[in-house]
Amino acid sequence: MSDQPTAEHSNRPEITIKLASTSDEMMQCFMLRAAVFMGEQQCPYWEEYDGNDYTASHLILYVDGEPAASIRVRWFAGFAKLERAIILKRYRSYGLFLPFVHWAKEFCRKKGYPKAYLHGQKRLWPIFEKDGFRKVDDKVFHFSDHEYGAFACDLDVGENAPTVTTDPMVLNRPEDKLDMPGILEESMDRGASNPHAHWTERRAT
């Protein structure tokens, strides 16, 4: 996966998608959600910021460098849950939603998750079904004043999915760049040069 711009022509907006990996990028995700869920959909603060933000990954999409959309991803055994997906109102005519969901699914697939799961608002069900998601069951449930259904789709993780036998340095790479050498690999040239105190000395200090 790449955080390089996806636009191909200069007369189109420059679209960039990446993992939010700094405190500023996290705040941008929170700002986007506040604008849409709290501002437009009247969601109470305590329901929107539910205690799961610092145990999740956050993806952010930029249009010409401006924060425009975000998705939160939470990790469960055997599946990744896509949630809190929003696009600012002024960018909703750009056709960004499905490409953003595709990027999120690819992010999950490369981390080795065989399924993506989400709770879709009823008005969006046809879009999710068009994108390969299928309802988990016929149950309809409600939270924060909206009607939802549970959807899931299979992800083809392939033979390159990370496991405990994967090269340790690959597993040290940034979460959204597992296929690219990371900063710690550059440090390998120095070797194990850091002196270590004996255990008794460490206990004394």
Q: What is the pLDDT along the chain (205 residues), one digit of tens a residue?
A: 455 555 454 678 999 999 999 999 999 999 999 999 999 989 899 999 999 999 999 999 999 999 999 999 999 999 999 999 999 999 999 999 999 999 999 999 999 999 999 999 898 899 999 999 999 999 999 988 889 999 999 999 988 889 999 999 999 999 888 889 999 998 888 877 766 656 555 555 5
Residues 71, 82 contacting (CB under 8 angstroms): yes
What separation in angstroms does the CA of 176 have from each of 57, 104, 119, 198? 10, 10, 23, 37
Model pLDDT, residue 199: 58
Query: Could you give the CA distance from residue 172 to residue 94 in angstroms, rounded to a whole number?
Result: 35
Using a 10 angstrom Cβ sphere, with 0-12 exposed, 13-18 middle and 19 or more buried, the burial of residue 69 is buried
d(CA 94, CA 71): 17
Q: Strand, helix or coil at 99?
A: helix
Strand, coil or helix: 73: strand
Contact 104, 71 (CB under 8 A): yes
Q: Which of helix, strand or coil describes residue 57?
A: strand
Q: Where are the alpha helices (DSSP H) in the chain?
A: 23-33, 45-48, 97-110, 125-130, 168-171, 183-186, 199-204
Enter the pTM of the model: 0.84
